[in-house]
Amino acid sequence: MHLWLKPEQAQELAAYARAAQPNECCGVILGRGEAVEQVVPIPNVASEPKYNYHMDEKALLKVLYEAEHKQREVIGFYHSHPRTEPIPSPTDTKLANYPDAAYMIVGLRNGEARLAAWSIKRSQVAPIKLIISADKPVVETAQLTIVQKRAIIASAIIAFIFMLVLSLSLLPPAPIIPLH
């Protein structure tokens, strides 16, 4: 899995994070599949916004409603770490409630913006490849050629016939039935 965003979208995320300092910023990532189409900031209404985030529910519902009408998917969420690396904290992991969504973090340690994306499922954290490029990435899919497909089918048929012959050859002889 990967997440693709354009350089201007990455710059937009970094700008949101810097503007929110010393607080964390947060928002929604809309798109289709693995392609980011729009990054939407949502106000952080956490009681301690310097150390965590909580999206304003009214603003979030409005964004979700508009996304549905524009036929866009929520493919992820983002927030910032104003003083640290873009690595999910234990709180981030605990509060990740959407297992199919990407969680992007903008880390601003030493003032330098670094982005990372994560998959968080049942407290299991795994990195997602983040592709920042103006051009849509080419995703290689391993497809079999016709010759390879035919070879697999032929091998399966030969293996089935071999097993059938072997099974029949191992059967005991039929019992002799007396005829009186």
Model confidence, pTM: 0.74
Q: Which of 8, 12, 24, 34 is catalytic?
A: 24
- Strands 73-81 and 35-42 turn out to be unpaired
144 and 104 co-located in one domain: no
Residue 31 lies in a domain: yes
Give how many domains the chain has, as a whole number: 2
Residue 178 lies in a domain: no
pLDDT in tens, 36-60: 999 999 999 999 999 999 999 999 9
pLDDT at residue 35, as a whole number: 92
User: Percent of the chain, pLDDT > 90?
Assistant: 70
* Integer Cα distance of 151 and 147 in angstroms: 6
116 and 155 co-located in one domain: no
Residue 146 lies in a domain: yes
**Cα dihedral sign, 133-135-141-147:** negative
92 and 152 co-located in one domain: no
23 and 68 co-located in one domain: yes
Residue 93 lies in a domain: yes
pLDDT interval class at 66 (50, 70, 90): very high
User: Percent of the chain, pLDDT > 70?
Assistant: 98
107 and 152 co-located in one domain: no
pLDDT at residue 74, as a whole number: 94
Spatial contact of 25 and 44, defined as CB atoms under 8 Å apart: yes
Annotated active-site residue 8? The verdict is no
9 and 78 co-located in one domain: yes
Q: Which domain holds residue 150?
A: 140-170
Spatial contact of 117 and 106, defined as CB atoms under 8 Å apart: no
Interacting residues of 92 by C-beta distance below 8 A, sequence separation 6+:
79, 103, 105, 120
Spatial contact of 135 and 4, defined as CB atoms under 8 Å apart: no
What are the b/e assignments for 8-41, b being 16+ CB within 10 Å?
ebbebbbebbeebeebbbbbbbbbeebebbbbbb
Residue 179 lies in a domain: no
* Integer Cα distance of 29 and 73 in angstroms: 8
Please say if the pLDDT value at position 62 is more than 70. Answer: yes
pLDDT in tens, 115-166: 999 999 988 899 999 999 988 877 656 677 888 889 999 999 999 999 999 9
Mean predicted confidence (pLDDT) in 97-120: 93
21 and 59 co-located in one domain: yes
